[in-house]
């Protein structure tokens, strides 16, 4: 199965290069980035051995859709998408906190709750909830952005106590996160989906706050189908995950949670194909269009040409 595992470009005016878990990030001058969404997949802060075909295209395309659809709420980093897997944008000083908004009890929050926890990041949850139940109202459960290792849960009070943000900045980003979640929820509902939970990342550019990274993608968010939600909850059955949570569940079943001494299990080709199907399914559901799958033939040269042409148009090289 063809896929884009990594890139190795060098552009005029390139100053730095960073290979993240999923993205390859090229700095152009001091103020701009070229970000390539590769087909790598990560879970529990580890990059898994095999890539997922078309995953990068789905991530980049869905993120571009929602970055454009939320500019009225907050400015964002995106300038252009010259290639199905590439975004060119502003370089920002990242705020080291993820704002995770949860409308339902799922994933990490459910695992804490299941073990008896009733307080998550300083938010108290009522007794008697089941996995995937809707919460009384959306909550924010922030996490610190670790440069290496696991991100850690943090309360809103701890954010200001550690001087990661001022109270004014924090209030602004809490309100913005809830507004973004509301927009995503409305967009999803119109397409027969439920936005279960999601994370937002922010940065500073010339003194102003900006939305950065990806928005409402299957890597940063969890979706359910709305038409099946109620009866599956009533019957106590699992919801179908349009996210990579089912990859985490598969890894847990195979005794891997990123802990010391654990070995990453090798995913069989059939499971890799099913992951691709989930990503493509979400793209189709969110956009109302079938994904026009890109060709992987000569992808490096094609991508490089697309990037250079756009950088020249933007007068960045």
The closest alpha carbon to 178, from 69, 97, 243, 102, belongs to 102
Domain count along the chain: 1
Q: What is the C-alpha to C-alpha distance for residues 93 and 102, in angstroms, rounded to an integer? A: 26
292 in a structural domain: no
80 in a structural domain: no
Tell the burial category of 224 from Cβ atoms under 10 Å away from its Cβ (0-12, 13-18, 19+): buried
In angstroms, what is the C-alpha Rg of the chain? 19
180 in a structural domain: yes
CATH at 178? 3.30.470.20
213 in a structural domain: yes
Q: What is the C-alpha to C-alpha distance for residues 268 and 246, in angstroms, rounded to an integer? A: 15
Residue-wise pLDDT tens for the chain (317 aa)? 799 999 999 999 999 999 999 999 999 999 999 999 999 999 888 999 999 999 999 999 999 999 999 999 999 999 999 999 999 999 999 999 999 999 999 989 999 999 999 999 999 999 999 999 999 999 999 999 765 556 789 999 999 999 999 999 999 999 999 999 999 999 999 999 999 999 999 999 998 999 999 999 989 999 999 999 999 999 999 998 788 888 988 999 999 999 999 999 999 999 999 999 999 999 999 888 999 999 999 999 999 999 999 999 999 99
Q: Are 285 and 240 in contact (CB under 8 A)?
A: no
301 in a structural domain: no
156 in a structural domain: yes
Structural domain span for residue 221: 94-247
18 in a structural domain: no
Q: Are 140 and 132 in contact (CB under 8 A)?
A: no
30 in a structural domain: no
DSSP string of 63-78, one letter each residue: HHHHHHHTTTTS-BSE
């Amino acid at each position: 199965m063809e896929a884009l595992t990594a890139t190795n470009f060098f552009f005029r005016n390139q100053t730095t290069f960073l290979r993240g878990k999923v993205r390859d990030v090229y700095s152009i001058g001091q103020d701009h980035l070229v970000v390539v969404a590769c087909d790598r997949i990560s879970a529990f802060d580890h990059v898994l051995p095999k890539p997922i075909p078309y995953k990068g295209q789905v991530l980049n395309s869905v993120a571009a859709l929602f970055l454009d659809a939320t500019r009225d709420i907050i400015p964002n980093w995106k300038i252009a998408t010259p290639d199905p897997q590439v975004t060119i944008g502003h370089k920002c000083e990242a705020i080291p906190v993820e704002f995770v908004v949860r409308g339902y009890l799922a994933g990490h929050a459910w695992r804490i709750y299941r073990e008896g926890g009733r307080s998550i990041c300083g938010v108290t949850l009522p007794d008697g909830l089941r996995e995937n139940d809707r919460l009384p109202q959306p909550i924010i459960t922030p996490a610190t952005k670790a440069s290496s290792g696991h991100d850690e849960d943090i309360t809103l009070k701890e954010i200001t106590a550690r001087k990661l943000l001022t109270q004014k900045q924090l209030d602004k980003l809490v309100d913005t996160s809830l507004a973004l979640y509301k927009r995503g929820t409305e967009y999803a509902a119109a397409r027969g989906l439920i936005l279960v939970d999601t994370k937002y990342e922010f940065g500073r550019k010339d003194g102003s706050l900006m939305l950065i990274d990806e928005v409402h993608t299957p890597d940063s968010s969890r979706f359910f189908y709305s038409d099946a939600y109620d009866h599956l909850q009533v019957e106590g059955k699992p919801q179908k995950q349009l996210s990579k949570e089912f990859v985490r569940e598969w890894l847990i079943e195979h005794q891997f949670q990123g802990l010391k001494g654990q070995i990453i299990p090798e995913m069989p080709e059939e499971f890799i194909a099913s992951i691709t199907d989930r990503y493509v399914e979400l793209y189709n559901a969110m956009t109302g269009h079938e994904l026009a799958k890109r060709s992987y033939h000569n992808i490096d040269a094609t991508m490089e040409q697309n990037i250079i042409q756009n950088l020249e148009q933007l007068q960045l090289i």
